Structure 1
Amino acid sequence: MAETAKRRAPLWARLCLAGGCVVLVASGGTAVTGQALISKYTGAVTDNSLLDAQAAEAAPKTNLQKGALNILLVGIDPRDAKTPPLSDSIIVAHIPADRSRAYLFSMPRDLYVEIPEFPAANVRTHHAKINAAMALGSQAGNGKIKVSQGFQLLSKTVSNRTGIKKFDAGAIINFGGFKKIVEAMGGVNMIIDQDVKSEHLKPDGSPRDRLSQCQGHHRCSRPYTGPQKVYKKSSKPVHLEAWEALDYVRQRYGLPRTDYDRQRHQQQFIKAIAKQAMSKDIVTDPGKLTKVMGAAGDSLTFAGGDHSILDWALELRDLNVDDMVTVDLPGGGLGTGGDYKGEQFDESVEGFFDAVQKDEVGEFLLDHPDFVNKEG
């Protein structure tokens, strides 16, 4: 009995992980892990070098019991180990000093921004779409890819655009990891807020056929043809299998607001799996809880700075899934047709970023209710 206790995290610790880290990555301990606990009990990867670039700027150590917290969550969909990954999903979690809420907002992957100088990857200051920062920063020379280095450049880019001086924690998870998490939970229930057609999959989940002129290369922007999986709008939660959930949150083509709708769906997905991870079916079942916690495995990389995951869990243990507010930052295209450069935020977003810096997000949203996702 004693040996078993040494090999497994005590139940209180696992429950603490499930409850306290609800705002991180998949939330509720479903994927987030950290420090010594991470490798021993979940198989995920701890890499505090994600935050090294900020530490090098002599940023003060994070005191989890004082002040607001900002966490950078990045989703990637790498093709292979030799291809620099693009950041397909960029989400910031802001937790105010009073720990009353967790606010989630997304940075559009095509947001046109200034990417700062980054000597480690021989990157010069220039303007480009924000998802390029991860790929550019990941190039470590001699054809080697260092994802944590790419995260550093992305973090610096997001910091410069939002005014957030530093991130207190960060995480990278690939979309395959999200699939494993949802599989471990037996699927996820979430509201489908609009009709969505899959660009990638047939109704049975198999890949759609490629156009004859798009075989064997990636030069076609929309290379697929034939029957499509369709997700019908519903006012009540719909049960999605893991492959369906992953496919749903990846779609943007055919949606009225394209990537802005996709961002909203990704935020809704995070909230839905957080809620499900906190359900009695999981937190009261030690076997299922352990399975869900370990589902991401090495698909997840987490950096908690100077604090362990238990420190984070204990500090955030009183946050409830219903206290998670998803935020819609308005924006639109910069240029059109051949002159399209990417996306840009509406001027009103600068007021939101100012509120984040001042830890006044709640007050800002009371004055600007249109920023709150009604379905999120």
Structure 2
Amino acid sequence: MMLGADRKRLTWVLAGLVTLVVVAVIGVVMARTGSDDRRTPTAATGGPSESPSPSPSPSPSPPPGADITGPLNLLLVGVDTRVSVPGWEPHADAVLVLHVPAGLSQAYLFSLPRDLVVDIPAYKPAGYPGGRTKLTHAMSYGSRVPGRPKRPDAAQGYELLRRTVSDYTGLRIDAGAVLTFGGFDELVDSLGGVDIRVDQRVVSRHRQPDGKHRKPGPGVGGYVGPQMVYEPGERHLNGWQALDYARQRYLPGGDYARQRHHQQLIRALIGKILDQDLARQPERVEQVVAALDDALLYVGGRRIVDFAYALGSLSPQAVTLVGLPGASVGRGNAYRGEELTAVGRRFLTQLRAGKADAFLADNPKLKVKS
């Protein structure tokens, strides 16, 4: 399906995490139902069956992912692709890491700036020699296939991005989800919209109040016409509104504010899925899954259902949203990208050491309010 220009530069990772949660909820219910259904056979009269020497009951098989105890690190990537440009290489427009400590009872979700200046390692499959540049380029450089111009490979691009993120954070990445074009707004609409606390006034550059696209125009912003405005407060957003709200970064706080809004939407979507008890409504599950269709690329050594079962006990309240502060790199107009502040880098160190809670208690401003 051909999608509009406002699909670009959106964190499709929202739908990736939702996918994991949907499967997790279904898995937990399936496991419980399976346990309830393993009953002793009864005779036609309804009484217990008689057997002089009953055979021992077989041991129940462990559920998928029963051996996964953590810690886990899931890399969630939203890519900027443009269907109107043949051979357009995917750029990692949103890079989020979900860290689940041992025990799998809580999790931390944080974003890395798309313009974070990092060392990207050499990657032979793409013919990339390595270099120091913006994180967003790891996906595009890694997606290149020698001898096959204008036919990028998103899975190959993810692999170079995974290595880059792992090197930078010091975290082993266990699995990932790459979200490209697909049905983010259809997904939100299939859930009946989402409720979110808009934390600052957000003026859309791309949409009118009625949802129509603003017309291209000259000057700052590149668009003309009335603008959709999201005022602070508790708001109910439909699909196109959630899509539009999530992608705005020309506002106070810039891309860091946009990262915060991504995280808030993730938690809102998780809560919506759990509140609706989708696992007990097969027709609703099919509707939600259909909305994702071609949007999701899952990359992992284990099946997604294994991770889903393992994460089935997580609730939205157990996921701590963390905003890592950063600053621009460069002088004057010579902008090179972004770097995390000392506090942001220190969080990663404490996370690896299992001391994130204590560090966040000492640095409460890092916690993102939902």
Query: Which TM-score applies when normalising by structure 1?
Result: 0.78
Measured in 2, the distance between the counterparts of 1:243 and 1:23 equals: 14
Partner of 1:233: 232
CA distance in 2, matches of 1:72, 1:152: 11
The match for 2:339 is 344
2:337 aligned with 1:330: no
1:286 aligned partner, one-letter code: P
Q: For 1:18-77, what per-residue CA distance to the aligned partner results, in whole angstroms no more than 9, with x for missing partners?
A: xxxx996225644899xxxxxxxxxxxxxxxxxxxxxxxxxxxx9953331000000113
User: What's the CA shift for 1:346?
Assistant: 0.2
On the 8 A contact 2:24/2:311 being kept in 1, the answer is no
Kindly report structure 1 stretches of 4+ aligned residues shifted beyond 4 Å: 30-33
Report whether the alignment pairs 1:123 with 2:128.
yes
Structure 2 residue 233 is matched with structure 1 residue 223: no
| Mapping of residues 21-36 of structure 1, within 5 Å | 25-26=17-18, 29-30=21-22
Which structure 2 residues correspond to residues 188-337 of structure 1 after superposition, within 5 A? 188-212=194-218, 222-234=221-233, 236=234, 238-253=235-250, 255-280=251-276, 282-305=278-301, 307-337=302-332
Deviations for 1:274-295, whole angstroms, at most 9, x for unmatched residues?
A: 1001113644433212311332
1:153 to 140, 160, 180: 160
Q: Which has the larger radius of gyration?
A: 2
RMSD: 2.3
Q: What is the CA–CA distance in structure 2 between the aligned matches of 1:250 and 1:64, rounded to whole Å?
A: 38
The residue type paired with residue 217 of structure 2 is L
Which residue of 2 is the match for residue 216 of structure 1?
A: none
Q: CA separation in 2, counterparts of 1:138 and 1:94?
A: 25
Residues 110 and 342 in structure 1, CA contact (< 8 A), matched pair in contact too: yes
**Secondary structure of the equivalent of 1:243?**
helix
Q: Please give the alpha-carbon distance, in whole angstroms, between the structure 2 residues aligned to 1:367 and 1:63.
A: 35
Identity of aligned residues (%): 38
- Give the Å deviation of 1:96: 0.6
Q: 1:145 & 1:308 partners in 2: Cα distance?
A: 25
Equivalent runs, 1:52-91 vs 2, <5 Å: 64-80=67-83, 82-91=87-96
Q: Secondary structure at the match of 1:340?
A: strand
- Does the aligned pair in 2 maintain the 1:329–1:371 contact within 8 Å? yes
The number of aligned residues is: 314
Give the conservation status (yes or no) of the 8 Å contact 1:277–1:283. no
Further displaced range: 169-178 or 113-122? 169-178
Gaps of 5+ in 1: 1-21, 34-61, 214-220
* Counterpart residue number, 1:162: 169
Moved more, 346-355 or 286-295: 286-295
Give the deviation of 1:168 after TM superposition.
0.8
Name which of 148, 168, 178 aligns with 1:172: 178
Determine the C-alpha separation between the residues in 1 that align with 2:180 and 2:351.
27
Q: 1:75 to 1:31 in 2, by over 3 A?
A: farther
- Opposite residue 153 of structure 1, the aligned amino acid is L
Q: Is contact 1:75-1:88 (8 Å) kept? A: yes
Alpha-carbon shift at residue 120 of structure 1 (Å): 1.3
Does the CA contact (< 8 Å) of 1:179 and 1:243 recur in 2?
A: yes
Letter in 2 for 1:370: K
The CA distance in 2 between the partners of 1:23 and 1:241, in whole Å, is 15
The TM-score with structure 2 as length reference comes to 0.79
CA separation of 1:247 and 1:30: change in aligned 2, threshold 3 A: farther
Q: In the alignment, which residue of structure 1 is the partner of 2:143? A: 138
Long gaps (5+) in structure 2: 1-13, 26-64
Please give the alpha-carbon distance, in whole angstroms, between the structure 2 residues aligned to 1:175 and 1:321: 26
Q: Distance in 2 between matches of 1:228 and 1:197?
A: 7
